[in-house]
Amino acid sequence: MPEGDSIFKIAARLRPRLVGQALSRLELREHGPVPSLVGSNVERIDAHGKHMFVYIEPRKVLHVHLGMHGRWRVFPGGATKAFSPESALAVLGVGADAYVCFRAAFARLRGIDDPSVRGAMERLGPDILAPQFEMSRAVQRSLARAEGTVAEVITDQRVVAGIGNVYKSEVLFLCGLHPLTPAHQLDTSQWEAIYTCASELMRANLIPGPRSSTATHKAGRHPAGVARLWVYRRRAAPCLRCRTPIERTTEGTLDRSTYWCPECQPAS
């Protein structure tokens, strides 16, 4: 499930392959082929929360949001028969290689000064994985929420960008907070603890391999026999700390899942 750490790692993998390279091909589902940008250089690739921005000369940006199921794949040596162009939202070619984005929520080519691009950046909260995470801004936005639960607030990308369903459940477990706690009950120190935990946990997962929140893992390896996650997708399984069965609820119009331990995270 793509969250901020996934987008960060995808951008890191794409940069050395695309940045500074001339495009040999650019195709978008919303436009079809874009021959005017063939030969243009990729200037930089930025990740901000769950969003990725591929900047292309002259003054264009490909704005990608992977949504729940999106992914990028590379097809080396022009293996165009390996995928159906109709299934791809974006295809970027460098030499004979094709970098393809599938099943994303959207992939939009816009001018850098396009209102939709500026608006997206203005709406997003501070990036939880930014080198200098803006803690005070994140806390201010959280305290300003007069309604909603803590689970809803920390996954609101307008408050903080990058935290999704997995880290929401794991961070609230580690902080001992019931996910349905009204957000207005939390004070500054509690919000700081939540975002410090989220930042540290997500940064620890920027190495290769599956996510883990239960143990330190190195070089993509995880200790054998140790569960990777404390509560996420462990409904009815015993809590790894107290053996109480894990519970699950859904919330919002998208039925987002939240998992918690009723013993370690008692309702206030």
Q: Do residue 90 and residue 28 come from a single domain?
A: yes
Q: Is the pLDDT of residue 219 over 50?
A: no
Other CB atoms within a 10 A radius of the CB of residue 64 amount to 26
> pLDDT tens-digit profile of 106-115?
999 999 999 8
For residue 68, what pLDDT is reported?
85
Is 130 within the bounds of a domain? Answer: no
For residue 133, what pLDDT is reported?
95
Q: Do residue 105 and residue 12 come from a single domain?
A: yes
Is 217 within the bounds of a domain? Answer: yes
For residue 80, what pLDDT is reported?
59
Give mean pLDDT, residues 208-236: 77
Q: Do residue 31 and residue 114 come from a single domain?
A: yes
> pLDDT tens-digit profile of 142-179?
999 878 999 999 999 999 999 999 999 999 999 999 99
Is 168 within the bounds of a domain? Answer: yes
Q: Which domain holds residue 106?
A: 4-123
* Prediction pTM value: 0.89
Cβ atoms of 256 and 165 within 8 Å: the answer is: yes
State which of 61, 94, 123 marks the end of a domain.
Answer: 123
Is 67 within the bounds of a domain? Answer: yes
Q: Is the pLDDT of residue 250 over 80?
A: yes
| Total number of domains constituting the chain | 2
> pLDDT tens-digit profile of 96-108?
999 999 989 999 9
* CA 167 – CA 253 distance, rounded (Å): 20
What phi-psi label fits residue 179: left (phi over 0), alpha (psi between -120 and 50 degrees) or beta? Answer: alpha
Mean pLDDT of the chain: 90
